[in-house]
Amino acid sequence: MNIEDYLRQNKIRYSKIHHPEAFTAQEVAAAAHVPGGKLAKVVVVRAGDRYALAVCPASYRLDLDRLSDIVGEPVRLANEAEMDRLFTDSELGAEPPFGGIYGLETYVDPSLAESDEIVFDAGTHSDVIKIAYEDFERLARPKVVEFAERVPV
């Protein structure tokens, strides 16, 4: 399902920002003129035999050991083939942070909830979507757990 269709079906107000093509979360934040603390970096992980999304600010780094402790089993990054199979409606590396659409659990670091808005990839490397954080939380129903740390500047 297209992320915009999903938001419209759920009556979520959003704005879409087109930007020059960018691939890393920090590049996307800069290209879209969004602070790194508001841009959601979506990391697809595999924990045992299941996949999940780990979502944190672009200016943070995922701590796989900490996430492993939280979920109770070893966690690794999903590879490109796994991601391509899971997210057929998104460009590789531009997955939106709504795991429920794909039957995946969503984990969100509390540092992302510090803002009233969240910005995330809209399934492409040249578009992001901005919504109220409370709308994201209501739709995604994430488990809010601390698993990321700020990247030193």
Got the DSSP string for 85-127? HH-TTS-TT---S-GGGGT-EEEE-GGGGGSSEEEEE-SSSSE
Q: Which pLDDT belongs to residue 84?
A: 93
Average pLDDT over residues 31-56: 95
Distance in angstroms between the alpha carbons of the first and the last residue of the chain: 37
- All structural domains of the chain: 3-150 (3.90.960.10)
Q: Which pLDDT belongs to residue 50?
A: 96
Angle subtended at Cα 106 by Cα 47 and Cα 60, rounded to the nearest 5 degrees: 90
- Residue 1 — very low, low, confident or very high, per pLDDT cuts 50/70/90? low
Which candidate, 140, 137, 138, 128, places its Cα nearest to that of 14?
128
Q: What are the distances in angstroms from CA 17 to CA 31, 55, 96, 131, 135?
A: 10, 20, 14, 11, 18
